[in-house]
Structure 1
Amino acid sequence: MSPDAFNNLFSLLIGFAVAGALTSGYQAMLRQPAGFGLLQQGVVPRSFAAVPFLMFAAPFIIMRNTLLGPRIERRRTEFVMLATVLAGTWSMMSGTVLLMVLHAVGVVA
């Protein structure tokens, strides 16, 4: 495996792990699942605080909604595939940002 492929895989996994930890922590503290409805509270500080949270938690929320969708409504396979690619790309990008921050702080060599 090339170093670039390994770095991308590691970024993808770190992004999904952080997204899952954030949403699980949110649900444990507030007893309700996190979702994109956090942005629909109007112009209040909670909505502005939700933006950075959702930037890193979105891959997990997208995949949770995608996997629960067929139980609630019938979704086509193309929609599930597109949502999975979107969540994976988002996870890799947020994981890359997290790895860059860890590298800048000096935690990762």
Structure 2
Amino acid sequence: MTPEALNTFFSICIGFALAGALANGYQALSQRPAGFGLLQEGVAPKTFAAVPFLVFAAPFIIMRNTLRGMRLESRRFEFVMMATVIACFWSMMSGTFFLMTLRATGVIG
């Protein structure tokens, strides 16, 4: 496995772990699952605060909604695969950003 492939895999894992931690933390505090409906609460500071949260929690929310839809609505395999690819790419981008932030602040070397 090349170093670039290992770095990409690590970024995807970190992105999903961060997304899961954020979404589960939100659910523990608010007693309801996080979702994209947070953006539909009108123009309010709470809505603007939801944007950065959803940027990093989106891979978990996408996969949770996709797997739930697959069980309840019998969604087609192609739709599930497309949603998985989107969630993995999003997770890779957020994981890369998170790792770059940790490196820039000196937390990791």
Tell me the TM-score normalised to structure 2 length.
0.97
> What is the aligned-residue identity percentage?
68
What residue number does 1:49 align with? 49
Tell me, which stretches of 5 or more residues in structure 1 are unaligned?
none
Task: Kindly report structure 1 stretches of 4+ aligned residues shifted beyond 6 Å.
Answer: none
Number of residues of Structure 1 aligned to a counterpart in Structure 2: 109
What residue number does 1:17 align with? 17
Measure the CA separation in 2 of the matches of 1:35 and 1:18.
15
Tell me, which stretches of 5 or more residues in structure 2 are unaligned?
none
Measure the CA separation in 2 of the matches of 1:84 and 1:99.
22
Measure the CA separation in 2 of the matches of 1:94 and 1:70.
25
Whether the 8 Å CA contact 2:11–2:96 is kept in 1: the answer is yes
Matches within 5 A, 1:1-109: 1-109=1-109
Question: What is the CA deviation profile of residues 51-95 of structure 1, one whole-angstrom value per residue up to 9, with x for unaligned ones?
Answer: 000000000000000000023212111000000000000000000
For the aligned residues, what is the CA RMSD? Answer: 0.7
Tell me the TM-score normalised to structure 1 length.
0.97
- The amino acid across from 1:16 in the alignment is F
